[in-house]
Amino acid sequence: MSDFALSQTKETFVLNLGPQHPATHGVLRVKLEMDGEYIVHAEPILGYIHRMHEKMGENRTWAQFMPNTARLDYLGALSYNHGYALAVERAASIEVPERAEYIRVITVELNRIASHLLWFGAYVLDLGGMTPIFYAFDDREQILNLLESVTGARLTFCYFRFGGVYNDIDDSFIAGSREFIKRLRKQMPDYHNLVTKNIIMIKRLKDIGPISPEMVRKYGATGPVMRGSGINYDVRKNEPYSVYPEFDFDIPVYDECDSMARYMVRMDEIEQSMRIIEQALDKLPEGPVMTEKVPKNLKPPKGDYYSAVEAARGVFGCRVVSDGTNTAYRLKLRSPTFSNLSLFGEACQGMLLADALAFMGSLDLVIPEIDR
């Protein structure tokens, strides 16, 4: 922070970043108190697209809430489907056939790659690089085509059901996934040469936006933000769900705590997701994709259930309280980006405005998920 800003008697001015701003990727408003180009104080103001998803969960049946979960995080919709399905399956003690678990893992990981690719393109676009987003979108398009062929939708998939998945995957999907992984493996060096090693990128990201592990713990940040600060935590490893323990994959962790570390975590996660998909396609068992015993009018026994998954942006937790009826008594959705954003105010104190935007992009914000 400049000496000017440190002396309290001097005047500062207020700058509104958003609610309509290309760098906030949605309707997020950040009230910035500025000293020239330096930020003295930042306060994210939320609620512009609050849609009462949690309340909606209380007045519709368990199955009817499923489409809502895709509307929380439209870039990683399947992880959210998964989180909600797992919580309700735990509540109603529904077993999922093994093939369905594998299909879930394959589609969720494809979705994670799609989400990271979009973030990669949009992030570089935030920093002023126009070209990479076109390459990233071209690759992402392949994933969307694959997922569309099995789920029937391109963004709000709504593919999982309590006790399995909606449709079985076919041979063309399996072949297409293998083809895509081969293609992305060939593209990744290009991405690194074009963006990661680019001197402008390095100068904009290195040592910018430091988030200490203490701050991560204080605000409950998760996902790549946490792993970019040197904390090795991933729900897929630490509290394994579904069939993740069957696969051999690493959790990328970087100790630098800066924007570059968070960037690298995501780029490495793309590679790890590809490894998981490959193994899952190899091991894919035969069998049904849906249990037969799921009642149409689902009434889980009374109780309080929680389940968490590792979404593209961090831990998505879903707490359902059932009172034994066909609607939830309480549905609490713990979304990762909300916690990740809340540290923005503290972390960007004394930062240049341009750096703060580079830092905000590295948090990978999806606003509908913050507001819910």
Minimum distance, C-beta of residue 40 to other proteins, in the bound complex (Å): 31
CB of 21 to other proteins, least distance (A): 27
Q: Nearer to other proteins by C-beta: 65 or 316? A: 65
60 is an interface residue for other proteins by CB under 8 A: yes
Residue 300: DSSP 8-state: P
d(CA 267, CA 191): 9
Smallest distance from other proteins to CB 158, Å: 5
| Residue position matching structure tokens 């630490």 | 238
Near other proteins by CB under 8 A: residue from 111, 151, 335, 340: 151
Of the listed pieces 45-53, 190-198, 208-216, 252-260, which binds other proteins according to CB under 8 A? 190-198
Query: Residue from 5, 117, 150, 328 that binds other proteins (CB under 8 A)?
Result: 150
Cα 264 from Cα 84, distance rounded (Å): 29
CB 337 within 8 A of CB 317: no
Cβ proximity to other proteins, 126 vs 310, nearer residue: 126
Half-sphere CA count of 116, side-chain side, radius 13 A: 27
Half-sphere exposure of 111 (CA within 13 A, CB side): 32
| Bridge partners for 330 per DSSP | 321
Based on CB atoms, which residue is closest to other proteins, 66 or 277? 66
**How many residues does the structure list for the chain?**
372
Alpha carbon distance 96, 81 (integer Å)? 14
Question: How many residues at the interface with other proteins, by CB under 8 A?
Answer: 31
Query: Which residue has tokens 């549905």?
Result: 331
Sheet holding 38-45, edge to edge: 13-17, 29-35, 38-45
Judged by CB under 8 A, the residue of 12, 156, 279, 342 near other proteins is 156
Nearest to 329 by CA among 136, 65, 33, 21: 65
For β-strands 38-45 and 13-17, DSSP reports them as unpaired
Nearest-Å Rg of the Cα atoms of the chain is 21
- 157/338 with CB nearer other proteins: 157
Q: Which listed residue (34, 153, 231, 281) binds other proteins by CB under 8 A? A: 153
Near other proteins in 194-253, by CB under 8 A: 194-195, 197-200
Site for other proteins contains 296 (CB under 8 A)? yes
CB 372 within 8 A of CB 335: yes
Restricting to residues 62-101, which ones interact with other proteins according to CB under 8 A? 63-68, 71
Q: By C-beta, is 169 or 312 nearer to other proteins? A: 169
Classify 247 as helix, strand or coil. Answer: coil
Which CB atom, from 294 or from 353, has the smaller least distance to other proteins? 294
> Least distance in Å: CB of 190 to other proteins?
5
Residue 326 makes contact with other proteins by CB under 8 A: no
Interface residues with other proteins (CB under 8 A) are: 60, 63-68, 71, 131, 135, 138, 141, 148-153, 156, 158, 166-167, 190, 193-195, 197-200, 296
